[in-house]
């Protein structure tokens, strides 16, 4: 019977079929080489160390490879990790990617239906035309990509899940505060992270691309909006407001926004982006611990540990 990573217990010796998501070489204090892996299946990730590595193996294994791995599960600093005993390259075989990466709990078709309904409901024609043009160009990847390489919504379909969750929040906030322009806020939500389709390499073994490292998703999106508006001959303030929404959505200079929010919709976009990201980060961390226990420290949450209440 296939063993999944969320079933592992301290002291077990197991065979696993996993994806290598990170591979680093190291040298022990005695000068011997070793490999440090992050291994993954759809149920979780784990660090694995391969001490008795051969010279050939040292240079063979790369992130993104499927492998069969045998090892002992040990508890190290309150985290399970594997001491690797044997490794086999399994990349030549056919694999269902859904067995190796976490994916959205909502189907692609359902997400597509809901996102398109939000975009169709935009009344301002300039805003709508810009969004629909960008959506048509990026629709295929939009529902497959993660929202990040780690931390929040770092799974297949994570970007669309993040955007859809924020769209739902935006709609509720607009009902509470009538001063907000719902067309502008919904469009800002849709556009704010779509540059990650260029910034990130894809849903498997996600890394930052050259453009992602040099430009970042914020500048990528604002350029995309500017170019789309020019192509569509849109000269109203809509494109400027949308670019401002994107440029300011991280909320503070120190978090990467070149400008601060200066319209109500931009302020709300920053707040609900942070809220949705934090809740996903907490959900992932709390899912790994039992009721009555604390999570490990979460860097993205000011390095705090969180308690999982008993039911």
Q: What is the DSSP letter of 112?
A: H
Q: Are 252 and 220 in contact, with CB atoms under 8 Å apart?
A: no
pLDDT at 288: 80
Q: Are 296 and 285 in contact, with CB atoms under 8 Å apart?
A: yes
| Residue 92, number of CB atoms within 10 A of its CB | 6
pLDDT digits (tens, 9 = 90+) for 61-78: 988 899 999 999 999 888
Q: Look over the chain and give the mean of its residue pLDDT values, rounded to a whole number.
A: 92
pLDDT at 129: 98
Quote the pTM value. 0.78
Q: Which of 221, 225, 202, 200 is nearest to 212 (CA)?
A: 200
Q: Are 63 and 29 in contact, with CB atoms under 8 Å apart?
A: no
Whether the pLDDT of residue 289 is over 90: the answer is no
Average pLDDT (157-174) is 96
Query: For residue 156, which phi and psi values (nearest 5 degrees)?
Result: -60, 125
Whether the pLDDT of residue 16 is over 90: the answer is yes
The CA distances from residue 265 to 195, 217, 228, 270, in Å, are 20, 20, 21, 9
pLDDT at 205: 74
Q: What is the DSSP letter of 200?
A: B
- The CATH topology of domain 5-98 is OB fold (Dihydrolipoamide Acetyltransferase, E2P) (2.40.50)
pLDDT digits (tens, 9 = 90+) for 88-124: 999 888 887 778 887 778 888 999 999 999 999 999 9
Interatomic CA distance for residues 283 and 285, integer angstroms: 6
């Amino acid at each position: 019977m296939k063993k999944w990573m969320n079933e592992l217990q301290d002291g077990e010796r197991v065979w696993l079929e996993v994806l290598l998501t990170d591979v680093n070489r190291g040298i022990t204090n005695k000068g011997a080489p070793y490999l440090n892996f992050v291994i993954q299946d759809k149920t979780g990730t784990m660090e694995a160390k391969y001490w008795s590595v051969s010279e050939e193996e040292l240079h063979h294994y790369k992130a993104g490879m499927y492998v069969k791995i045998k090892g002992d599960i040990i508890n190290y600093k309150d985290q399970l990790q594997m001491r690797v005993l044997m490794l086999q390259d399994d990349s030549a075989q056919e694999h269902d990617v859904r067995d190796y990466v976490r994916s959205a709990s909502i189907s692609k078709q359902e997400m597509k239906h809901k996102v398109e309904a939000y975009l169709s409901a935009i009344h301002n024609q300039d805003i709508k035309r810009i969004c629909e043009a960008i959506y048509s160009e990026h629709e295929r990847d939009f529902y497959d990509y993660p929202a990040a390489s780690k931390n929040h919504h770092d799974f297949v379909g994570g970007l669309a899940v993040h955007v859809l969750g924020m769209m739902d929040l935006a709609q509720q906030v607009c009902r509470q505060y009538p001063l907000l322009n719902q067309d502008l806020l919904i469009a800002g939500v849709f556009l704010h992270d779509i540059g990650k389709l260029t910034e990130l390499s894809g849903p498997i073994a996600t890394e930052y691309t050259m453009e992602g490292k040099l430009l970042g998703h914020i500048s990528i999106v604002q350029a995309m909006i500017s170019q789309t508006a020019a192509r569509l001959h849109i000269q109203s303030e809509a494109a400027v407001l949308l670019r401002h929404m994107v440029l300011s959505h991280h909320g503070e200079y120190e978090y990467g926004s070149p400008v601060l929010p200066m319209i109500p919709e931009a302020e709300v976009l920053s707040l609900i982006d942070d809220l949705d990201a934090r809740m996903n980060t907490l959900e992932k961390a709390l899912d790994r611990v039992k009721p009555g226990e604390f999570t490990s420290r979460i860097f993205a949450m000011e390095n705090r540990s969180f308690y999982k209440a008993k039911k």
